[in-house]
């Protein structure tokens, strides 16, 4: 999984920004969402991404993993990530 061809990511003080340059749509990201996208950019499938996030941040109740999975699915449905 990786960011789609026309999608650019940049970290910002507030979190991050995704710019889909074909449609010229801009998505602002919270720090958590930006952390997920940063891991997606590093490569690997959804479960690898989630596993790395869990390794990096505390996730005692599994909430982070669940939210990240949901967020990745949302990115995929918007065409912002692909294989």
Partner 1 sequence: MPPGSGAFGAPLYVGWQLTNECNLSCLHCIEESGPGKAFKDELSREEALGVLGRLAVAQVPYLSFSGGEPMLHPAFWELVEAASAREMEVKIETNGHLLSPDDCARLRELGVKAVQVSLDGAGPASYEGLRVGGRFERAVQAVEDLRSAGTPVEINFSPTKFNAHEVGRAVDLAFEWGAAGFYSGRTIIAGNAAKTRGLIEPTEEQYERFFRTLREKAREYEGRMRVCFHELGLIEELNYRLANPAALFIILPNGKVKLINALPFICGDLRRQGVSEVWKSFLDGWRSPQVREFVSKLQQDPGGIGRLHEWAEVRLA
Of 1, 2, 19, 61, the residue at the interface with partner 1 (CB under 8 A) is 19
Q: Which of 2, 6, 31, 45 binds partner 1 (CB under 8 A)?
A: 6
Cα separation of 46 and 52, whole Å? 10
| Stretch near partner 1 under the rule CB under 8 A, chosen from 15-23, 42-50, 55-63, 69-77 | 15-23
Distance in Å, CB of 65 to partner 1, minimum: 25
Q: 3-state DSSP call for residue 2?
A: strand
The answer to whether 32 touches 53, Cβ cutoff 8 Å, is no
Structure tokens that stand for 14 in this block: 């507030």
């Amino acid at each position: 999984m990786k960011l789609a061809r026309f999608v650019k990511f940049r970290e910002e003080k507030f979190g991050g920004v995704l710019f889909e340059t074909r449609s010229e749509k801009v998505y602002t990201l919270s720090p958590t969402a930006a952390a997920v996208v940063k891991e997606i950019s590093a490569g690997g499938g959804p479960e690898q991404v989630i596993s790395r996030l869990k390794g990096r941040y505390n996730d005692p109740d599994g909430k982070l993993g669940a939210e990240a999975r949901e967020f990745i699915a949302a990115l995929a449905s918007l065409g912002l990530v692909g294989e």
